[in-house]
Amino acid sequence: MLRAAAILFDMDGVLVDSKAVIERVLHRWAVRRGLDQEAILHLPHGQKTRDTVAAFAPHLNVADEVAWLDAEEERDVDGITAFPGAAKLLGELAPEEWALVTSAGRQLAPRRLLAAGLPLPHTLVAGESVTRGKPAPEGYLLGAKLLGRRPDECIVLEDAPAGIEAGLAAGMRVIGVATTYPRSRLIGCTAIVTDLSEISVQRDGSGMSLMLHSRD
């Protein structure tokens, strides 16, 4: 049982399964620019598009490539689904108890949530909301601030090492979600779950707790 006043969710790999879309878009980008098609599919997850482009293809115009990639991702939502337990967990939370903190853009995030049949957050920290993306803590600190909560009152749900590092650097507890990386890569987490179906909300007179139910 983990006490918390607010939950900060990453999107891709936690709430939304967008792996197929991401891989399709990256493949089209690789073909378009003559990049290594195999290597591009092993890029780190959970980071802002501009950081990925700058690291993988520094010889290209970052702004132009980000614009193309963002447009492709906004257009392609075929096959996007919610991970098990995502809709149920969000339904157990009041709007002021959760925020979405994602590296995705402000236009892309709601498109993917709607495609997956999930509710839109009242509080959204998107890629362009911050100067430094994950693994920097800026996004999670902003999410807590917008909810009116201290970092130590928040729990982060993350599937990628960069996001986990960001949550920990923000002074928050992190629950790792083993959908994208093996559990051995989810270092520093307070707990690790297979997906959100292993988490439920319990309330008493003093507040909210997250209950973890392992299927192992």
Q: Which tokens is 21 given?
A: 């879309």
- Residue 14 confidence (pLDDT): 97
Let me know if 78 is a catalytic residue.
no
Residue 216 above 60 pLDDT? no
Q: What pLDDT is attached to residue 215?
A: 63
Least confident stretch, 24-33, 48-57, 113-122: 48-57
Task: Report pLDDT for 42.
Answer: 73
Examine the pLDDT at 208 and tell me if it is beyond 90: yes
214 or 96, which is more confident = 96
Residue of 10, 17, 51, 195 with catalytic role: 10
The CA distance from 188 to 135, in Å, is 13
- pLDDT at position 153 is 97
More confident residue, 202 or 73: 202
Q: Backbone phi, then psi, for 153, in 5-degree steps?
A: -90, -5
> For 14-27, what is the mean pLDDT?
88
| Distance, CA of 165 to chain centre | 13
Q: Is the pLDDT of residue 81 over 80?
A: yes
The confidence score (pLDDT) of residue 32 equals 87
Cα gap 141→31, rounded to integer Å: 37
Return left, alpha or beta for 166; rule: phi > 0 is left, psi -120 to 50 is alpha, else beta. Answer: alpha
* pLDDT surpassing 90 at residue 144: yes
The helix or strand, by DSSP H or E, that contains position 149, with its residue range, turns out to be: none
For the chain, what is the mean pLDDT? Answer: 91
Q: Report d(CA 135, CA 163) in Å as an integer.
A: 6
Is there a catalytic annotation at residue 76? no
Among all chains, which residue has been given the structure tokens 């890629």?
A: 127
What is the pTM for the complete model shown?
0.86
Q: What are phi and psi of 82, to 5 degrees?
A: -85, 145
Question: How does residue 46 score in pLDDT terms, banded at 50, 70 and 90?
Answer: low
Confidence check: pLDDT of 47 > 80 = no
Q: What percent of the chain has pLDDT over 70?
A: 97
The pLDDT of residue 37: 79
H or E, element range at 158: strand 154-158
Average pLDDT over residues 157-166: 96
